[in-house]
Amino acid sequence: MLTSSSAQLFYFDEDTTYLDHGGYGATPREVMSAYIEECQKVEEAPRPFFEFDFYNTWQQHAAMVAQRFSAQAEDLALTNNATDGLNAVLRSTPLQSDDEILITSWTYGAIANAARYMARRQGARVIEAPFHYPNPNPEQCLEALKAAITPRTKIAIVDHITSATALVLPIEKMVQLCHEYNVAVLVDGAHVPGQLSLDLQTIHADWYVANLHKWYFVPRGCGFLWAGKQRQIELVPSVLSWDIEKPFPHSFEWIGTRDPSTWLSIPAAFNFMDHLGENNVRQHNHTLIKEGAALLAKAWHISSTTPASMTGSMILVPLPADINFPATDEGRRKLQMLLWNSYKIACPCILYGNKLYIRISAQIYNKAADYEKLAQAISAIKKA
């Protein structure tokens, strides 16, 4: 159950204030123990595991993930992470010169880079739909997306929850809109499992990539790629290996020798989540993040413009205008380092549109006092 001592379920030092679950996740102790155990079990006899057990266990664990997110096992492959899944899709989707990949102003940087690289190599281009921030608005996102679609748009990459701006987007409507114009849609759901209730069948995307190592408590290096039936034929992993002639998702099983312990720990992470209750976790985090943002807004005399309908378990909050750090990448990094080195607060500072922000997350180990500590630290830094 969620208690005031939930932080003890993790590895944080007592004096650490961890407000960045959205960054790299954090693995609970009991899941980490299961991970180490799985690792050791494989080490007891690597050859029989890889020769006799690998395929069965991969399939069982992938099926478990599919079931959890309301998908069919034959439509889902385990991947190392969301970037891995995205790369597989982009590399398997040939473009003609002058074709367009549609992204948005909020697309995660690494994903935008991959899209630009793949477009450039094929003489295609990337078009960015301008989404407004601050004062984000789902309708504006839909309008901007619609306005950016052209007869050359071959694939749209849209976020279900954005990274830097930390916003929940109207994903079903975005997918529907793209399909009205015959544009295939890849949904980046890196932050979604564990932050929102996820039913892969109802989104109707062409592809959906996600991480389990962010908000679902699986150790780092575990995600999945879901593909609609009509998109599976040419789909191969980004690392070409023994299984590429097999049909999806079996083509993703053996992609070179790698450590299976992350996906072998999926049952332990699912048990951890189920013991707490996924609904309870999401509700706790959603309530706490709104409380945390309100607390910072009051302390710093700023207003946060993120609507509750676009909020999951993270939020971007503007830093006070008179913070004595320049709105540059260097200023952002220095402030983030100062928060960690002097206050043991881990929280990403973000430069967005020539302004400095801080992105806070809420997870079961957080409490209102954590955001108070952040508020006080920033006030102290301002006075220094």
Ligand X SMILES: Cc1ncc(COP(=O)(O)O)c(C=O)c1O
Size of the site for ligand X (CB under 6 A): 12
Interface residues for ligand X in 206-265 (CB under 6 A)? 211
Interface residues for ligand X in 286-315 (CB under 6 A)? none
Among residues 93 and 107, whose Cβ is nearest to ligand X?
A: 107
- Which tokens go with 304? 């946060």
Q: Whole-number minimum distance, CB 112 to ligand X, in Å?
A: 10
**350 binding ligand X? (CB under 6 A):** no
Interface residues for ligand X in 180-209 (CB under 6 A)? 188, 190-191
Q: Whole-number minimum distance, CB 5 to ligand X, in Å?
A: 28
Q: Give ∠ CA 20-172-106 in degrees, rounded to 5.
A: 45
**346 binding ligand X? (CB under 6 A):** no
Q: Among residues 260, 218, 211, 313, which one has the least CA distance to residue 57?
A: 260
- Among the listed ranges 80-88, 193-201, 307-315, 317-325, the one in contact with ligand X (CB under 6 A) is 80-88
**79 binding ligand X? (CB under 6 A):** no
**75 binding ligand X? (CB under 6 A):** no
Q: Is the peptide bond before 237 cis (omega within 30 degrees of 0)?
A: no
Q: Is the peptide bond before 134 cis (omega within 30 degrees of 0)?
A: yes
Measured distance CA(336)–CA(3) in Å, rounded: 29
- Which tokens go with 65? 């993930």
**316 binding ligand X? (CB under 6 A):** no
**103 binding ligand X? (CB under 6 A):** no
**100 binding ligand X? (CB under 6 A):** no
Sequence-distant (≥ 6) Cβ neighbours of residue 261 within 8 angstroms:
35, 36, 38, 39, 42, 219
How crowded is the C-beta side of 308, counted as CA atoms within 13 Å?
9
Measured distance CA(291)–CA(211) in Å, rounded: 26
**20 binding ligand X? (CB under 6 A):** no
Among residues 214 and 295, whose Cβ is nearest to ligand X?
A: 214
Q: What is the dihedral of CA 75, 78, 82, 83, to 10 degrees?
A: -110
Among residues 158 and 323, whose Cβ is nearest to ligand X?
A: 158
**99 binding ligand X? (CB under 6 A):** no
Contact 62, 266 (CB under 8 A): no
Give the one residue of 34, 89, 95, 111 binding ligand X; rule: CB under 6 A: 111
Measured distance CA(354)–CA(357) in Å, rounded: 10
Point out which residues pair with 360 in neighbouring strands.
Answer: 315
Site string for ligand X, 145-164 (x = CB under 6 A): --------------x---x-
Give the one residue of 82, 203, 225, 317 binding ligand X; rule: CB under 6 A: 82
Sequence-distant (≥ 6) Cβ neighbours of residue 43 within 8 angstroms:
none
Q: Whole-number minimum distance, CB 108 to ligand X, in Å?
A: 4
For the chain, count helices (H), then strands (E): 14, 12
**81 binding ligand X? (CB under 6 A):** yes
Residues that bind ligand X (CB under 6 A): 81-83, 108, 110-111, 159, 163, 188, 190-191, 211
